[in-house]
Structure 1
Amino acid sequence: MARIAVIGAGAGAMAAAARLSVAGHRVTVYERSRTYGGSLGRYARDGFVFDTGPGLLHLPAVYRDLFVKTGKESLEQCLTLTQVDPASRHLFADGTGVSLPNASRAGVVRALDRALGEGAGARWGEFLDRAGAAWNRSRRPLLEEPLPEDPRMLSRDPYPAVRRRRLLRAARQARTSAEVGAWELEDPRLAALLDGYALSYGLDPRHAPAAAALLPYMEETFGSWYVAGGMRALADAVYERCLARRVEFVFGAEVVRVSEKDGRAAGIELADGGSVEADHVVLGAQPAPGLLPVREEGPSGAPHRGPVPGRFLVLLSLRGTREAGAVHRTVVHTGDPGAELEAVFGGRAAELPTVTVLRPDDPATRPDEEHEAVSLMATVPPHGPVDWEDAALRERFADAVIGRAEEAVPGLRDRILHAEVRTPAETAADTGAEGGSVPAPALAGAGGAYLHAGSRTPLHGLYRAGGWSHPGGGMAHAGMSGALVAGLVVEGDGFRGSQ
């Protein structure tokens, strides 16, 4: 039985902890804050309850596998999952809108044809076919296996872009997500749909490889799921599973350094001066300067193209009943995508942001049927390039976000009882992520520039889990990272992922 110290209590770290404890190891989690869950936070006031992180779950099979492998009770025995249908409604700058059914390729094609004109659905369906080919080519090495020491196999883009013939000049293929939208989808509204997926994950479609097509493919193929009570309930369930497997938690314990002895990880040092010996250390958080005793080389995530974006939230407590037929998730697309991208990835607040409106039909989120809890989200630069502690800026941007959301919920302003604003500054304080940045999922292509640091590290006995490591950010990806770390610790460097 090995002693294992886990740094951080985010979803990926807890997934690793539960799996390692089941394998017979003594696991202790050290968390700098006073609670678990990482980005899966919760804000509550006067009977209204809001998620402060992701609002929907994609690829729930990742957590079903975690619960199958760590206990008798399945995921669905521990919480309630419901498919959101329609999966999303999209409002475009020209006034058109479309509701996309959940996990139905044929239904999406029909909806796009009805809303955007004959042929739009076929173009999107053909695009998803190519995205599916990219998924099949890259799924195992990108998501289910440890990142190889030589990641060049993932440096080539798996997306089979259409070759465009040009008069008297060589044919060209789309290399970026934005080029896929412009060259293959043709309709600017379909291009906005694709760009919106990339932006929601904190990716710049102008530079993200064409393999970003995997993001809409995953959502539209495997569906979008709502966790009753909010996504924080998933964190609660994983935490309870850890406790049931005898994982120990120490909260308010900031780890300042991983100790080294004889060329391997030997434990951790705490901010209060204490130290803990361990046979293995799992780093489940973004490493602060000085935390690691060795310098890591190779993929390190998205910092290669400027600041990594965060999320701006406006949590609205509303008077009035949620109307029948209200859509759970609506995306209000910007009318000036170029200006928004220049702002978000240039370190400025956008004048006309894309806004996602979440309206869960869940009695647990509101005091009674005469009220409603609504969350608004926009992708923004992190704290640092933008001073998100500036009260005037916070108020001005929140007002812009609410104004955009009124396109999805007419009369929204008149119903507001209370508005809670949360910016990357709050995310940084809550999670410790630099600037409140939110890591994006790993992508193949672009020479490996969109990969993250591997589960293994140069220091023997030190592993990495969570969104800042392979295979990147997002709830499903974080859960996968925990499975990879557990496999490496239990089976050694010969572990090649689940079969």
Structure 2
Amino acid sequence: MIGAGMGAMAAAARLAVAGHRVVVYERTDTYGGGVRRLERDGFVFDTGPGLLTLPAVYRDLFVKTGKEPLEDCVELVQVDPSSRHVFADGTEVALPNASRAGVVAALDEALGAGAGERWGEFLVRAREAWDRTRRPLLEEPLWPNWRVLAEKEPYPGVPQRRLLRTRQARTLSEIGAWELRDERLATLLESSALAYGLDPRTAPASAAVLPYMEHAFGTWYVRGGIRELARAVYERCLQRRVEFVFDAEVMRVLDKDGRAAGVELRDGTVAEADHVVADVDPARLKVMTDRPLDKNGDVRADPFTTRPGRFTVLLALRGGREAGAAHRTVVHAPDPESELDFLASADGDQPPPPTVTVLRPDDPALRADEGHESVVLSAVVPSAADWDEESMVRQYTDHLLDAAEAAIPGLRDRVLWHEVRTPDDSDDETSAFLGAVPAPALAAGQGRFLHPANTTRLPGLYRVGGWSHPGGGLPHAGMSGALVAGLIVEGPEFRGSQ
């Protein structure tokens, strides 16, 4: 196993239960991939994902790999409200967790009568897209005839009385413009794609499944931070006698008689294996193999394509968290078009203010005492920008702090200290090209939003984690582990969980 990310560990635990001896070689000194934490002066911060959707993926992992269920290993808490949104015109709305009626009522009250109904009708259509794509995009290995997924848009068309025909949205932005008919509702919709670095102007309409997943399955937090989920998965691996070797960088996948036969480490050590599972991004895997991994007609990933990353500011604040504060607040950009243009090109010396997510967990484990608070600010940014340039880092830090003032009035006066993390830090920790963050796989879009299959052209070599099917995000990484384990244990005939 190359890498100790969430997908690799999910596969490792399942393979160990199936009787395989599993050894994980991790380049850094810890597990979890991008799911990490920073501790300083009694403050604790998640430096990767801060929330969890689809916890059923990890519940299934724990059921299949041991007697202790997930909830005996971590404390899962539903976040309510699921999110608070501050729009550019100053309008605010707090959306209840996993309550359609509650969300409809909240939107009607905040944005005007009819807004909630339009959003509710959108969720019905998003559910249809989810039902059509859930199995092929999450629960099954990528179809050999994946072009069926790439060409057909699963998001349904909407009858237009005036036009006497059905209008089929092709992109997420078209759903906002044609169906939601409110700039703030459109911004709410588009932010679900932007959070994964997807441009809603080009993301297929099938990206409607992203807000639907949060709505239908809820938004969850793990007490102590999401890093506790990584710890629980790691400990489950240890219980199943998975071996971990840290500070061990794999340089090459061994190829013997046309089959993956093990790995070679930086120090020259060779470890033979019947199967090799790689939880690394395409650029790094290409260097390790130096041979084509995809057959003609396969989904291919350009290993050196530039994808967005994340810019994060970790804040240690004096003063306690006020009662009723939202766990997550999204402060939307004042000029969304400029934000998306800069994200796509990284051109210009003056980056526009981005959409900023403010995470304020009500968790004593994350703060020094009741008189302090730990807060995480984050925004999606161009990973190809010059993050060694001090002025760029300073401008983005100021943008995030300015936006966070809308969520936490008087924020700057409370700051004891802060730490900044750029895509360069993600690059160091995960080796992802330029510190990019993978997005979940999506149907339609001519296949540009699918990820390469878990199997490769080299027999015995498998891909796992966010850079392979079914893509990025904690649930998707966990599901990729289940798919790879199934393919190794049951062989090519494996068709996914039933």
What TM-score do you get using the length of structure 1 for normalisation?
A: 0.96
1:157 and 2:156 matched:
no
Residue of 234, 243, 246 corresponding to 2:238: 243
- Give SS of 2:287's match: coil
CA shift for structure 1 position 164: 4.5
For residues 117 and 166 of structure 2, the distance between their equivalents in structure 1, rounded to whole angstroms, comes to: 23
Quote the Cα distance in structure 2 between the aligned partners of 1:20 and 1:126: 42
Residue 267 of structure 1 aligns to which amino acid in structure 2?
A: G
The reply to whether residue 63 of structure 1 matches residue 62 of structure 2 is: no
One-letter amino acid of the counterpart of residue 450, structure 1? F
Distance in 1 (CA, whole Å) between partners of 2:248 and 2:338 is 42
Q: Deviations over 1:263-304 (max 9, x none)?
A: 211111111111111000001111414212531333245879
Q: Equivalent residue for 2:299?
A: 299
RMSD of equivalent CA atoms: 1.5
Alpha-carbon shift at residue 167 of structure 1 (Å): 6.2
Q: In the alignment, does 2:427 pair up with 1:432? A: no
5 Å-filtered alignment, 1:243-392, equals 243-287=238-282, 288=284, 289-297=286-294, 298-300=298-300, 307-348=306-347, 350-382=351-383, 385-392=384-391
Return the alpha-carbon distance in structure 1 between the equivalents of residues 388 and 481 of structure 2: 34
Residue 3 of structure 1: aligned partner = none
- Residue 226 of structure 2 corresponds to 231
Other-structure match for 1:86: 81
Q: CA deviation at 1:177?
A: 0.5
The alpha carbon displacement at 1:33 in A equals 0.5
- After superposing the two structures, state which structure 1 stretch, 456-465 or 13-22, moved more: 456-465
Contact 1:301–1:450 (CA<8 Å) still a contact in 2? no
| Between 321-330 and 145-154, the greater mean CA deviation after superposition | 145-154
Q: How far 1:150 sits from its partner (Å)?
A: 2.2
Paired AA for residue 321 in structure 2: R
**CA distance in 2 between partners of 1:183 and 1:302 (Å):** 33
Matched ranges for 1:108-119 at <5 A: 108-119=103-114
Paired position in structure 1 for 2:137: 142
* Structure 1 segments unaligned to the other structure (5+ residues): 1-5
Could you tell me whether the CA contact under 8 Å between 1:81 and 1:228 is conserved in 2?
yes
Q: Distance in 2 between matches of 1:276 and 1:433?
A: 24
Contact residue 165 and residue 172 of structure 1 kept, 8 A: no
Shift of 1:345: 1.4
How much does 1:173 deviate? 2.2
Q: Secondary structure at the match of 1:314?
A: strand
Distance 1:164 1:476, change over 3 A: same
Kindly provide the amino acid, as one letter, of the partner of residue 299 in structure 1.
Answer: V
Which stretch has the larger CA shift, 346-355 or 40-49?
346-355
- Please list the CA deviations of residues 340-377 of structure 1 after superposition, one character each: whole Å capped at 9, or x if unmatched: 00001112473111000000000000010000000000
Secondary structure in 1 matching 2:29:
coil
| Total equivalences in the alignment | 490
Determine if the alignment matches structure 1 residue 31 to structure 2 residue 23: no
Quote the offset at 1:404 in angstroms: 0.8
Kindly indicate whether the alpha-carbon contact (under 8 Å) linking 1:331 and 1:356 is maintained by their aligned counterparts in 2: yes
Q: Distance in 1 between matches of 2:445 and 2:172?
A: 11
Greater shift, 288-297 or 46-55, is seen at 288-297
Retained in 1: the 8 A contact 2:351–2:395?
no
Distance 2:119 2:385 in 1: 36
The one-letter code of the counterpart of 2:494 is F
More off after superposition, 390-399 vs 210-219: 390-399
Unmatched runs of 5 consecutive residues or more in structure 2: none
Local SS of the residue matching 1:249 = strand
For residues 462 and 206 of structure 1, what CA distance do their matches in structure 2 show?
Answer: 36
Matched, 1:495 2:494: yes
Q: Is the 8 A contact 1:313 1:423 kept in 2?
A: yes
**In 1, distance between residues paired with 2:299 and 2:423?**
24
Q: Pick which of 255-264 and 420-429 moved more.
A: 255-264
Aligned with 2:93 (options 80, 94, 98): 98
What residue identity is the alignment partner of 1:379?
A: V
CA distance in 1, matches of 2:361, 2:439: 24
Instruction: Map Cα deviations across residues 22-41 of structure 1 (whole Å, 9 max, x no partner).
Output: 00000000000011000101
Q: Residues 112, 303 of structure 1: CA spacing in aligned structure 2 closer, same or farther, 3 A cutoff? A: farther
Letter in 2 for 1:162: V
Matched residues in 2 for 1:171 and 1:245: separation? 54
Q: Identity over the aligned pairs, expressed in percent? A: 65
Name the CA distance, whole Å, in 1 between partners of 2:187 and 2:133.
25
| In structure 1, distance between residues paired with 2:58 and 2:489 | 20
Superposition deviation, residue 392 in structure 1:
2.1
Contact 1:330-1:408 within 8 A present in 2 as well = yes
Tell me which moved more, 337-346 or 390-399: 390-399
Specify which of 46, 52, 63 is matched with residue 47 of structure 2. 52
